[in-house]
């Protein structure tokens, strides 16, 4: 019995090729590679474009680490991120959807906290009324959530700041992907209510943007 339980825990971690974190299915990501070869920022700005045609080739754990770090990883020190936020409130939370699981990125630890099992990329693709099925081809989708508890208030101004801050994170993803040859598109379409239920979010937490990320299918 005990042996089977240990085996199940190991399978959960190995599904991502990762080391065992505090919880069985959390993933300690490898340190982001700051010395990787990439396009310069001017060329990335000049050539950035949205891609809606993905192959299902997976991202390696190193690529996922680099991607999450570029989106809103730790920069300079524990208190700062690669994307600025209003008054440095760091109210944008980043969820990673794959074909197997959903995690939340922890910038301080550069790790993924397990949230739920299963492929829920259909909720990122859209709702019943409108869905963009190409999202299900991308190996991961990054979903940005404004957390008004972290912001410290929930009014019109807080919503505006949250939208701007999520846009900063999304643009980090756009430019990073362009620079390293990954494909992405910034998106507002998604099943917001479905995502809130899945992620057990309260009314103080709002899914606002997402970026499917992978390799362009030529």
Ligand X SMILES: Cc1cc2nc3c(=O)[nH]c(=O)nc-3n(C[C@H](O)[C@H](O)[C@H](O)COP(=O)(O)O)c2cc1C
Structure tokens, 118: 């299963």
**For ligand X, which residue has the nearest CB?**
189
**CB nearer ligand X, residue 16 or residue 144:** 144
Residue among 114 and 176 whose Cβ is closer to ligand X: 176
**Shortest CB 54 distance to ligand X, Å:** 12
Write down the least CB distance from residue 41 to ligand X, Å.
16
Closest CB 50 distance from ligand X, rounded Å: 3
3-state SS, one letter per residue, for 13-61: HHCCCCEECCCCCCEECCCCCCCCCCCCHHHHHHHCCCCCCEECCCCCH
Task: Please say whether the beta carbons of 158 and 151 come within 8 A.
Answer: yes
- Is the Cβ of residue 149 or residue 193 nearer to ligand X in the bound state? 193
Over the range 141-173, which residues count as b (16 or more CB within 10 Å of their CB) and which as e? bbbbbbbbebbeebeeebbebbeebbbbbbbbb
Nearer to ligand X, 127 or 186 (CB): 186
State which residue, 13 or 135, has the beta carbon closest to ligand X: 135
Nearer to ligand X, 19 or 53 (CB): 53
- Interior angle at CA 65, CA 57 and CA 4, nearest 5: 80
Q: How far is the CB of 185 from ligand X (least distance, A)?
A: 5
> CA-CA distance, 140 to 97, in Å (whole number)?
5
- Kindly state the smallest distance separating residue 190's Cβ from ligand X, in Å: 8
**Minimum distance from residue 133 beta carbon to ligand X (Å):** 11
DSSP-based three-state secondary structure for 196: helix
Residue 199 per-residue DSSP state:
T
Enumerate binding residues for ligand X (CB under 6 A).
49-50, 52, 132, 185-189
Q: How far is CA 91 from CA 38, 88, 165, in A?
A: 29, 8, 8
């Amino acid at each position: 019995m005990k042996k089977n339980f240990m085996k199940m825990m190991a399978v959960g971690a190995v599904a991502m090729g990762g080391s065992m974190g505090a919880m069985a299915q959390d993933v300690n990501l490898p340190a982001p590679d700051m010395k990787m070869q990439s396009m310069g920022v001017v060329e990335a700005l000049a050539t950035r474009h949205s891609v809606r045609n993905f192959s299902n080739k997976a991202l390696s754990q190193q690529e996922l680490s680099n991607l999450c770090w570029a989106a809103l990883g730790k920069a300079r020190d524990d208190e700062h991120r690669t994307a600025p936020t209003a008054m440095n409130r760091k109210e944008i939370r980043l969820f990673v959807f794959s074909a197997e699981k959903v995690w939340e990125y922890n910038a301080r630890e550069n790790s993924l906290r397990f949230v739920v099992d299963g492929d829920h990329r259909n909720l990122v693709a859209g709702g019943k009324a409108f869905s963009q099925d190409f999202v299900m081809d991308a190996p991961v989708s990054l979903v940005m959530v404004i957390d008004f508890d972290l912001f410290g208030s929930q009014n019109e101004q807080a919503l505006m700041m949250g939208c701007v801050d999520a846009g900063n994170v999304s643009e980090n993803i756009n430019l990073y992907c362009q620079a390293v040859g990954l494909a992405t598109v910034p998106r507002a379409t998604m099943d917001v209510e479905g995502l809130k239920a899945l992620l057990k979010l309260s009314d103080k937490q709002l899914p606002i943007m997402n970026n499917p990320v992978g390799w362009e299918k030529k």
